[in-house]
Amino acid sequence: MSVLETAGLAVLRSLDPETAHGLAIKALQSGLLPMPRAVVSGRLQTRVAGLDLPNPVGLAAGFDKNATALAGLSRAGFGFVEVGAATPRPQQGNARPRLFRLAQDRAVINRFGFNNDGAQAIAARLAHRPAGMVLGLNLGANKDSSDRAGDFAQVLRMTGASIDFATVNVSSPNTERLRELQGADALAALLAGVMSARDELLRPIPVFLKIAPDLSDVELAEIADVALAARVDAIIATNTTVSRDGLTSAQAHQAGGLSGAPLFEKSTRVLARLSHLTQGAVPLIGVGGVSSAQQAYAKIRAGASAVQLYSALVYEGLSLVGRINQGLADALERDGLANVAQAVGLDRDKWL
């Protein structure tokens, strides 16, 4: 991490978290932010759900909710970028404060509630996306919708022409009763609607499903069965957790979804369990607590074909992307693996 990046992070951490996040987005929009050197290696190139990725390290949804910083993010060294979540209509989300740093725990709690500019505005920005980046959109539902399942398909119809993949997000804990859509029957019906909308696109794209880390083994098995039957193209494991086990920070009592370091083991165990249940029939993307190359490699060896970051960037900055990719390339070389795909699932049984 450079001296400039260290100083910049210190300034941002002195501010209210949501204000700091807004400034980070503006810095990316400005084009003046120094970008880390991209790590290029044949060992890192991989193919996931039909998408050719220059490396397996992606940006998770939630950082650029409104797709306003695409140009900057396209130069940050990510293998793929996911923006959103987008809902059919603009939505203010929950009242502030709604974002909290837990520095002692290297974690973040958010209860944004799908605040976004709405699918129409976001679709207009996606239509002018930078060339060359692999770009996805997280699909959401309006809080006051009478047909939340239908909202997901509606957003896909409005935006699908300008994205490379779409993620069905039924696992956010910050929209009341949203997680009920993870039930087998509700999820099957929702996915059927989304897949039908996908098939209407001139260029059908992969559809991913993002799940919660707080599922029982029975619930996880049901979701795996539904996802396979619906033929989703990948599963993202996992979203934030409602658990507060082991936290020491003063803000640990705040309501919302917890992300960051405390989520690593829990999300990785869910990932490995899902890998076991699906037996390689659907690619998995590992999210939750990744802040080093070692942790990214652990997710991959537990069953992930790619990983995503978000909360760690609050503490480590954008240079973390390059450090993780370089560390992954070094680990693959050390282990005699020609490509990251060869490492997927090698340690899965250790997490079961």
Q: Which residues are catalytic?
A: 172
Neighbours of 50 (CB within 10 A): 12
Name the DSSP class of 180: G
Integer angstrom CA distances of residue 312 from 103, 120, 215, 264, 315: 11, 30, 24, 11, 5
Beta bridge partners of 207: 166
Integer angstrom CA distances of residue 27 from 20, 33, 34: 10, 6, 10
Distance CA 261, CA 154 (A): 34
Q: Residue 105's closest CA among 236, 238, 254?
A: 254
Q: Distance between the two ends of the chain, CA-based, in angstroms?
A: 35
Q: Residue 343's closest CA among 42, 38, 44, 80?
A: 44
Q: Residue 279's closest CA among 209, 225, 219?
A: 225
